A and B are shown apart, each in its own frame.
Chain A
């Protein structure tokens, strides 16, 4: 992963057990692409579901927001020379789910910017599995707060 992408990841305001970004594959002003592998020892598999571990939809949404909104947001803040000590707030999500994600699955999140204005970032996001099948897609938006 190139240095620029590593710098973005280093600025993410998350840590284990709530960091859902492993690597960024591409970032531009128009969008971002990144991957994450759900470890089988993640805390939520213990209860979701009883004896039948499946990644919760809210965690998939969080993964899409961390890659699709926050990583892209950090990149856009740097481009616009805005203060880097910003925090992020999710403001809206509308996601449809198509396939389950099981422990140890690697997913790719692809996000396309719809707009970034007045510190609101709105993106079209989708998540696909290693067979390139659609797991989830929708629209997420968030505010950057200084």
Chain B
């Protein structure tokens, strides 16, 4: 799956967990999920669980540590789909 396709599936998942003071327009590939999009750590877990369901993959604890921005998520998803 190319990264644009992943992005299109990922964006609505992230949108669900955006706080009210952050607009969906602010989401881009370099958006830091917690610092810029203001997603709290509990909702970051929700995003990962939704990603797992959507792409039928499984995240590990160490993957969580690598997950900072939207691009990190896309790369992790790509690596896992390829396996």
| A92 with B49, Cβ < 8 A, contacts A118-B61, A118-B64 known | no
Contact of B49 (CB < 8 Å), options: A115, A119, A143: A115
| A92 with B42, Cβ < 8 A, contacts A118-B61, A118-B64 known | yes
Cβ of B44: which chain A residues have Cβ within 8 Å of it?
118
If over half of A's interface residues share one DSSP class (helix, strand or loop), that class is named, otherwise mixed; here it is strand
Tally of A interface residues using CB under 8 Å: 10
Task: List CB contacts (< 8 Å) of B18-65 with chain A.
Answer: 40-45, 48-49, 59, 61, 64
**CB of A120 closer than 8 Å to a CB of B:** yes
Tally of B interface residues using CB under 8 Å: 11
Cβ of A87: which chain B residues have Cβ within 8 Å of it?
none
In the complex, which residue of chain B has the Cβ closest to the Cβ of A115?
B49
Verify B42–A117 contact, CB threshold 8 A. no
Bound state CA distance, A119 and B42, in angstroms? 9
Verify B42–A141 contact, CB threshold 8 A. yes
Using CB atoms and an 8 Å cutoff, list the residues of chain B in contact with chain A: 40-45, 48-49, 59, 61, 64
